[in-house]
């Protein structure tokens, strides 16, 4: 700590603490417009001038140093602050009362008040630019833009999409998209960072415009008239009284605008934010305090909420009668569900029923569904969609280090010297995690290796991009391990102290020479050696992987090989190291954690363990089934075999997201009784006997667990739509119809029960998760959590990790003369999965209206294909008709199809082959024949899609260029200004 005097009072500054942070933390005040703690010093506004030892400096760009005497209020500082802010007001018209941004958090408004500005010396000047309305989600008004550059900094260095800049040399500077494009045609990915950090109304969500204020919905002519009136009285009254009127209007808004914290419903990053609502209208999503994301979001979390008020929400239970659905009351539907489930149980036994939980539902809902299956029906036939993606990664970690979760936090990925990404399109599938890696790579010298079939954004940014042959990652990973051990580059000290099984592991690597690996993977020996040396030379390495690894017949083994590599290089147990299988759905981690698995009760406690069973039997006051149940892959088989007769499925579009979708749909058609609970009439509902209308995340309370094992609370933003119920209530109602006698009044009571039965969650409760607080499991009874796992020991009885030998077998479905092309598949940034939620947001649909198949330029030329050509893809299992998109993201005979389609789902083509350890389908092992159809349509990606933009990377807002303008002088007339610049 250093001792600093601020306005006459001694204060203790933290190491490297900026003066502005110290002043704010210790209760002082200094104006600041461009500074945002999550962006760091931008230095464009000059309003934070303070006097230090007689010199003026920017408080936002100067670290507090021992012995400093700081004045925020000296005549010199105050004059400089006012002068700087006066320049800002010349760029911004104050019409707060009729501004949608008059919500108490407008920096321009608040600084006018703080500095008690009554009249501006430099009059407002309009800029010669039109408002840009071309993005579906937000608009830019150059006339209101104060050129603070926060948006540029956020886009360049936090989101790292590098779309924004300011043309400082222009007589009329403004914010530019791609150096001068319209927003709609630029590379902007609509992540919303810029809108979130804009300190005024220059960038605003369109959902706010005309809705937030009491007067802002007036016609433009009326508004202009009112603004003129306000401007007219300003010379006489000054801003003080005008601001009083706007503050009264803001106070009125407080009564009708609700701000409620929630957690994103889409991917596993776990972004959290406030949702602003007026009645059922979503005004905006405001991220700031989320422990995983801060100000960050992607387009889905920021703008993808069209499904909430979509007109086709299910609002009444449906019962199939004579092949058609009819509406029914809740009483009738619940009674029917209970009667049929009991009849089938009595007739065919408890194990003829099965339950599928949803990774979109809360932890409490998952817990309750598996309790219904086990305690009320008496079967362990319960599973969730982690089977489709994450189970192999969990298996790899169980085998080697003991816990089936990310070994650290997103902050560790940020800190790492080296990040290796294998089989993950992180920038599209886990966009906010990608921002952290992109930023560390751009600003902090982090190194990046990417292995993938496609040259996606992370691959393009990588220091080293590997494109191995499909399904050969295990080979090069093992070859790297062998090379490191052979060359004495492994971490011997770590191995001796913390790892078992080295000799057996070393032996298992014999087949993985560089020569063999190069031959089988098509990577060069030099490339594999380079990977090994980069890992050996880095102080800390994190490996991130996803479905490009797990969705193979050897998904568990590849995940194991990754963890083995981390172990031999000592990349566990320290900040900036570890294994990160990136979880797909918002709560896929939590669904498994809370027992929706055929072999595990909550907290991965085995159903085979009598002590565990006894604890749950005592808690639930029932006898529990002893044998492990069917997973969702086995359930489909069991239906075809006539062993499984009834299913209760919540919130999963299983008929198109499971592999070999035609086969799965055929199975559903054979069920005697099928209950589907969802918020829309999904494709899977078509096979149901009863459909129950659940509630989306914004309409309920509960918790989600994100990829970094972070448990977070979501609060109810809106009442459930009339006719719908939160899913935990529906499960409770079904349970009670079956005689459960449950009386949960709130999900917190369910969580208390979970904590009492599950050591891993012993200390989890709703008080500890209040607001933006979170816990990363395991959580001890006293509430201590573990952001970084294995800091003291690995999760095995002797505290040591285990090297687990794996060999390469090769893929199941390989191209041949008939099916000559390899088909890869995965997510798209804009849509989540098949798009059941995201297609209901108009702007997303506009930018990304359909699925497509990516075809390499070489193959396109060979087959006479252009973007828009319709093709029929035919596999051994089915066929789909889809338009081609020619792109160099894919190479040669490798195709890629995103999964955002209900009409032409890629899973009509995928097989029933699975990873034998986990039964995860080998979605990524798929060969097809491509028939080129005569029809040529529009490109499946419209010109307004961000992929056609041309980003303009630069180091940040580049304020030095502003300082070089001939008309720029530092406020205070350059009187003693010292321009300190902070290192980022």
Applying CB under 6 A, the residues found at the interface with ligand FES are 32-35, 43-48, 58, 60
In the complex, the smallest distance separating the C-beta of residue 847 from ligand FES, rounded to whole angstroms, is 34
Work out whether 163 is an interface residue with ligand SF4 (CB under 6 A): yes
Work out whether 146 is an interface residue with ligand SF4 (CB under 6 A): yes
In the complex, the smallest distance separating the C-beta of residue 49 from ligand FES, rounded to whole angstroms, is 8
The answer to whether the CB of 94 falls within 8 A of the CB of 109 is yes
Work out whether 300 is an interface residue with ligand SF4 (CB under 6 A): yes
Work out whether 283 is an interface residue with ligand SF4 (CB under 6 A): no
Residue in the structure block whose two tokens are 């009598």: 610
The answer to whether the CB of 957 falls within 8 A of the CB of 166 is yes
Instruction: Pick the binder of ligand SF4 from 155, 204, 333, 731 (CB under 6 A).
Output: 155
In the complex, the smallest distance separating the C-beta of residue 273 from ligand FES, rounded to whole angstroms, is 24
| Interacting residues of 452 by C-beta distance below 8 A, sequence separation 6+ | 421, 422, 423, 424, 425, 458, 459, 465, 466, 467, 548
Measured at CB, which residue is nearest to ligand SF4? 301
The whole-angstrom separation of Cα 162 and Cα 950 is 9
At 353, which helix (H) or strand (E)?
strand 353-356
Angle, helix 727-737 to helix 363-371, in steps of 10 degrees: 10
Instruction: Pick the binder of ligand SF4 from 147, 546, 657, 665 (CB under 6 A).
Output: 147
In the complex, the smallest distance separating the C-beta of residue 182 from ligand SF4, rounded to whole angstroms, is 12
Q: Which does 298 bind (CB under 5 to 8 A by kind): ligand SF4, ligand FES, none?
A: ligand SF4
The whole-angstrom separation of Cα 861 and Cα 408 is 46
Instruction: Pick the binder of ligand SF4 from 84, 96, 298, 855 (CB under 6 A).
Output: 298
What mask of x and - would describe binding to ligand SF4 in positions 344 to 383, judged by CB under 6 A? ----------------------------------------
At 849, which helix (H) or strand (E)?
none
In the complex, the smallest distance separating the C-beta of residue 880 from ligand SF4, rounded to whole angstroms, is 26
At 711, which helix (H) or strand (E)?
strand 710-714
In the complex, the smallest distance separating the C-beta of residue 211 from ligand SF4, rounded to whole angstroms, is 20
In the complex, the smallest distance separating the C-beta of residue 411 from ligand SF4, rounded to whole angstroms, is 16
- CB nearer to ligand SF4: give 942 or 976: 942
Instruction: Pick the binder of ligand SF4 from 269, 275, 338, 779 (CB under 6 A).
Output: 269
- CB nearer to ligand FES: give 84 or 788: 84
The whole-angstrom separation of Cα 667 and Cα 382 is 17
- CB nearer to ligand SF4: give 63 or 432: 432
Identify which of 261, 256, 263 has the alpha carbon closest to the alpha carbon of residue 281.
Answer: 256
E strand residue ranges, 391-531: 418-422, 447-451, 464-466, 499-500
- CB nearer to ligand FES: give 750 or 957: 957
Q: What are the CB-based long-range contacts (under 8 Å, 24+) for 666-670? A: 666/640, 667/636, 667/639, 667/640, 668/639, 670/639, 670/640, 670/642
Work out whether 787 is an interface residue with ligand SF4 (CB under 6 A): no
Work out whether 271 is an interface residue with ligand SF4 (CB under 6 A): yes
Within 180-239, the residues that bind ligand SF4 by CB under 6 A are 188-194, 198, 200, 202-203
Work out whether 696 is an interface residue with ligand SF4 (CB under 6 A): no
The answer to whether the CB of 446 falls within 8 A of the CB of 421 is no
Q: Which does 389 bind (CB under 5 to 8 A by kind): ligand SF4, ligand FES, none?
A: none
- CB nearer to ligand SF4: give 146 or 734: 146
The answer to whether the CB of 816 falls within 8 A of the CB of 927 is yes
The whole-angstrom separation of Cα 211 and Cα 207 is 7
Q: Which does 159 bind (CB under 5 to 8 A by kind): ligand SF4, ligand FES, none?
A: ligand SF4
Candidates 160-168, 232-240, 670-678, 761-769 — which segment interacts with ligand SF4 by CB under 6 A? 160-168
Alpha helices in 499-587 (DSSP H): 502-508, 514-521, 525-537, 547-550, 555-568
In the complex, the smallest distance separating the C-beta of residue 791 from ligand FES, rounded to whole angstroms, is 38
Structure tokens belonging to residue 835: 């798009």
In the complex, the smallest distance separating the C-beta of residue 43 from ligand FES, rounded to whole angstroms, is 4
| Interacting residues of 652 by C-beta distance below 8 A, sequence separation 6+ | 356, 358, 359, 384, 385, 684
Alpha carbon of 498 to those of 447, 575, 759, 788, 813: distances in Å?
27, 17, 24, 16, 39
The whole-angstrom separation of Cα 791 and Cα 191 is 35
Work out whether 290 is an interface residue with ligand SF4 (CB under 6 A): no
Instruction: Pick the binder of ligand SF4 from 68, 148, 336, 906 (CB under 6 A).
Output: 148
The answer to whether the CB of 50 falls within 8 A of the CB of 72 is yes
Work out whether 149 is an interface residue with ligand SF4 (CB under 6 A): yes
- CB nearer to ligand SF4: give 175 or 731: 175
Work out whether 264 is an interface residue with ligand SF4 (CB under 6 A): yes
Identify which of 402, 793, 456, 453 has the alpha carbon closest to the alpha carbon of residue 579.
Answer: 402
Q: Which does 885 bind (CB under 5 to 8 A by kind): ligand FES, ligand SF4, none?
A: none
In the complex, the smallest distance separating the C-beta of residue 848 from ligand SF4, rounded to whole angstroms, is 14
In the complex, the smallest distance separating the C-beta of residue 41 from ligand FES, rounded to whole angstroms, is 7
At 892, which helix (H) or strand (E)?
none
In the complex, the smallest distance separating the C-beta of residue 20 from ligand FES, rounded to whole angstroms, is 7
The whole-angstrom separation of Cα 654 and Cα 631 is 13
Work out whether 301 is an interface residue with ligand SF4 (CB under 6 A): yes
In the complex, the smallest distance separating the C-beta of residue 47 from ligand FES, rounded to whole angstroms, is 6
For binding to ligand SF4 (CB under 6 A), which residues are involved? Answer: 145-151, 154-155, 159, 161, 163-164, 175, 188-194, 198, 200, 202-203, 264, 266-267, 269-271, 293, 297-298, 300-301, 431-432
């Amino acid at each position: 700590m250093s001792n600093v005097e601020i306005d006459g009072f001694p204060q203790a500054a933290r190491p490297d603490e900026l003066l502005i942070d110290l002043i704010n933390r210790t209760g002082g005040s200094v104006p600041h417009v461009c500074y945002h703690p999550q962006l760091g010093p931008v230095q464009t506004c000059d309003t934070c001038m303070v006097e230090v030892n007689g010199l003026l400096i920017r408080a936002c760009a100067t670290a507090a140093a021992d012995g400093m005497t700081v004045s925020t209020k000296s005549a010199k500082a105050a004059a400089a602050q006012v002068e700087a802010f006066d320049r800002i007001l010349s760029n911004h018209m104050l019409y707060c009362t009729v501004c949608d941004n008059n919500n108490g958090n407008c920096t321009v408004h608040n600084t006018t008040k703080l500095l008690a500005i009554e009249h501006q010396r430099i009059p407002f000047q309009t800029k010669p630019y039109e408002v840009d309305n071309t993005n579906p989600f937000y608009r830019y008004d150059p006339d209101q833009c104060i050129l603070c550059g926060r948006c540029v900094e956020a886009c360049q260095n936090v989101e790292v999409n590098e779309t924004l800049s300011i043309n400082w040399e222009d007589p009329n500077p403004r914010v530019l998209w791609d150096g001068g494009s319209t927003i709609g045609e630029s590379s902007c990915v609509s992540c919303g960072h810029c809108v979130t950090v804009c300190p005024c109304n220059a960038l605003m969500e369109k959902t706010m415009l005309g809705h937030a204020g009491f007067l802002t919905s007036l016609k433009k002519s009326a508004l202009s008239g009112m603004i003129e009136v306000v401007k007219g009285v300003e010379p006489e009254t000054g801003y003080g009284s005008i601001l009083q009127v706007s503050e009264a209007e803001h106070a009125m808004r407080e009564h009708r605008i609700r701000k409620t914290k929630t957690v994103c419903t889409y991917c596993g990053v776990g972004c959290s934010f406030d949702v602003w609502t007026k009645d059922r209208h979503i005004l905006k999503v405001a991220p700031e305090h989320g422990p995983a994301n801060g100000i960050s979001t992607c387009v889905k979390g920021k703008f993808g909420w069209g499904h909430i008020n979509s007109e086709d929400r299910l609002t009444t239970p449906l019962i199939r009668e004579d092949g058609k659905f009819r509406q029914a009351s809740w009483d009738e539907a619940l009674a029917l569900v209970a009667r049929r489930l009991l009849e089938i149980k009595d007739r065919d036994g408890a194990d003829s029923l099965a339950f599928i939980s949803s990774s979109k539902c809360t932890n409490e809902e998952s817990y309750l569904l598996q309790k219904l299956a086990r305690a009320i029906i008496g079967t362990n036939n319960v599973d969730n969609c982690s089977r489709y993606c994450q189970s192999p990664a969990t298996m790899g970690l169980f085998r080697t280090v003991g816990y089936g979760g990310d070994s650290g936090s997103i902050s560790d990925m940020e800190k790492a010297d080296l990040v290796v990404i294998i089989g993950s399109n992180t920038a599209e599938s886990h966009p906010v995690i990608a921002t952290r890696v992109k930023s560390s790579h751009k600003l902090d010298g982090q190194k990046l290796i990417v292995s993938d079939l496609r040259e996606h954004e992370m691959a393009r940014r990588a220091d080293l991009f590997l494109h191995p042959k499909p399904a050969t990652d295990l080979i090069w990973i093992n070859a790297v391990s062998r090379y490191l051990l052979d060359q004495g580059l492994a971490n011997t000290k770590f191995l001796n102290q913390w790892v078992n099984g080295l000799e057996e592991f070393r032996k298992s690597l014999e087949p993985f020479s560089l020569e063999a690996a190069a031959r089988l993977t098509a990577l060069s020996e030099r490339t594999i050696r380079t990977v090994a040396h980069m890992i050996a030379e880095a102080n800390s390495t994190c490996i991130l992987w996803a479905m490009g690894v797990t969705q193979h017949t050897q998904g568990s083994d590849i995940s194991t090989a990754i963890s083995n590599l981390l172990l031999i290089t000592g990349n566990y147990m320290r900040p900036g190291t570890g294994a990160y299988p990136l979880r797909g759905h918002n709560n896929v981690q939590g669904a498994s954690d809370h027992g929706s698995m055929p072999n595990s009760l909550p907290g991965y406690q085995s159903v085979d363990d009598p002590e565990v069973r006894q604890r749950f039997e005592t808690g639930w006051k029932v006898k529990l089934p002893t044998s492990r149940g069917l997973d969702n892959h086995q359930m489909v088989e069991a239906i075809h075999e006539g062993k499984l007769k009834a299913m209760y499925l919540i919130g999963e579009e299983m008929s198109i997201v499971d592999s070999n979708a035609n086969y799965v749909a055929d199975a559903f058609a054979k069920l005697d009784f099928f209950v589907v609970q969802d918020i829309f009439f999904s494709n899977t509902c078509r096979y149901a006997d009863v459909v129950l209308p659940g509630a989306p995340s914004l309409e309920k309370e509960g918790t989600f667990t994100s990829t970094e094992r972070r448990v977070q609370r979501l609060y109810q933003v809106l009442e459930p739509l009339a006719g719908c119920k939160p899913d935990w209530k529906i499960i409770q109602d079904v349970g009670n119809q079956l005689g459960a006698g449950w009386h949960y009044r709130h999900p917190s009571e369910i969580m208390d029960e979970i904590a009492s039965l599950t050591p891993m969650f012993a200390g989890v409760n709703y008080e500890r998760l209040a607001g933006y607080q979170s816990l990363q499991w395991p959580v001890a009874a006293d509430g201590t959590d573990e952001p970084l796992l294995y800091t003291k020991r690995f999760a095995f009885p002797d505290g040591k990790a285990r090297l687990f030998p794996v060999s390469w077998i090769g893929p199941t479905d390989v191209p041949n003369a008939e099916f000559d092309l390899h088909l890869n598949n995965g997510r798209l940034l804009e849509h989540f999965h098949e798009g059941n939620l995201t297609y209901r947001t108009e702007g997303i649909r506009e930018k990304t209206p359909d699925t497509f198949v990516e075809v390499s330029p070489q193959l396109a030329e060979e087959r006479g294909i252009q973007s828009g050509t319709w093709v029929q893809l035919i596999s051994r299992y089915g066929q789909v008709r889809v338009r081609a998109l020619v792109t160099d993201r894919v190479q040669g005979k490798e195709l890629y199809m995103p999964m955002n389609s209900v009409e032409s789902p890629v899973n009509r083509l995928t097989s029933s082959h699975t990873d034998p350890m986990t039964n995860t389908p080998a979605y990524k092992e798929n060969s097809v024949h491509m028939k080129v159809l005569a029809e040529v349509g529009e490109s499946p990606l419209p010109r307004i899609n961000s992929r056609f933009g041309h980003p303009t990377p630069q180091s940040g807002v580049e304020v030095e260029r502003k300082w070089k303008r001939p008309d720029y002088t530092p406020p205070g007339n350059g009187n003693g200004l010292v321009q300190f610049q902070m290192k980022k």
